[in-house]
């Protein structure tokens, strides 16, 4: 048993829902391909320089989304909003784009990781993916956040075990689509129990650590 309930999505916006599932699967595929070239590790939450976050993991996986030219044009030693890097915001890959409507800013995304103590992205280094691939104890990897962010900005859903749970889902009224560390994509209804969501964020690794 997975230890949580995932409601069936409504039938509204079927094309947008299908595109969201496709986007999350493609992002998950890129994440796993990243690990194959980087010692089994996922990307860090941020590309860092001078001990500060500069660019999002969404930039780090661009080569694995077949966005080689765009990746090559980023100045990885500059922040996301430097004059040069900010000029690339409008070239956001379609896989990051909202599936419903047209945001007034064409460079924002709902697809974010969960960052914080006990979450998959905990600390400044990317985690070893092998420890989190467990069908019986799934761990959230990329989610639809409640609010979009500039896609290259190192900004994600924040998790604090001592604080209220973060809200997910900004595109569909009945819930949100989420990608797990094993590459699967599922739908979570808004009525998911708090302990169920917390379990998906903080599942223990298979080795018990």
pLDDT score recorded for residue 137: 81
Q: Is residue 2 part of a domain?
A: no
State the chain's mean pLDDT as an integer. 90
**208 phi-psi bin (left φ>0, alpha ψ -120 to 50, beta other):** left
Alpha helices in the chain (DSSP H): 14-37, 57-60, 68-73, 83-86, 194-202
pLDDT score recorded for residue 208: 46
Domain that holds residue 101: 14-202
Per-residue model confidence as pLDDT tens digits over 130-187: 878 776 788 999 999 999 999 999 999 999 999 999 989 888 999 999 999 999 999 9
173 vs 103 pLDDT, higher one: 173
Q: Is residue 47 part of a domain?
A: yes
Query: Is residue 195 within 8 Å of 185, Cβ to Cβ?
Result: no
Query: Is residue 97 within 8 Å of 140, Cβ to Cβ?
Result: no
What percent of the chain clears pLDDT 70, i.e. is strictly above it? 89
Q: Is residue 209 part of a domain?
A: no
Q: Is residue 106 part of a domain?
A: yes
Q: Is residue 4 part of a domain?
A: no
Q: Is residue 162 part of a domain?
A: yes
* Number of domains into which the chain is organized: 1
Q: Is residue 118 part of a domain?
A: yes
Q: Is residue 7 part of a domain?
A: no
């Amino acid at each position: 048993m997975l230890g949580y309930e995932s409601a069936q999505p409504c039938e509204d916006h079927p094309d947008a829902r299908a595109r969201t599932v496709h986007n999350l699967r493609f992002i998950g595929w890129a994440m796993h391909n990243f690990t194959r070239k980087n010692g089994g590790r996922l990307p860090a939450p941020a590309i860092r320089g001078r001990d500060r976050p500069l660019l999002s993991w969404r930039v780090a996986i661009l080569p694995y989304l077949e966005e080689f030219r765009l990746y090559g044009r980023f100045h990885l030693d500059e922040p996301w909003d430097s004059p040069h890097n900010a000029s690339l915001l409008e070239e956001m890959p379609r896989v990051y784009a909202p599936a419903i409507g047209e945001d007034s800013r064409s460079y924002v995304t709902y697809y974010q990781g969960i960052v914080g103590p006990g979450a998959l992205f905990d600390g400044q280094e990317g985690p070893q993916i092998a420890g989190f691939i467990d069908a019986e104890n799934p761990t959230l990897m990329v989610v639809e956040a409640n609010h979009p962010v500039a896609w290259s900005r190192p900004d994600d859903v924040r998790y604090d075990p001592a604080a209220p749970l973060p809200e997910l889902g900004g595109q569909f009224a009945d819930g949100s689509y989420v990608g797990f560390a094993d590459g699967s994509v599922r739908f979570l209804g808004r009525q998911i129990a708090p302990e169920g969501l917390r379990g998906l964020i903080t599942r223990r690794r298979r080795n018990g650590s």
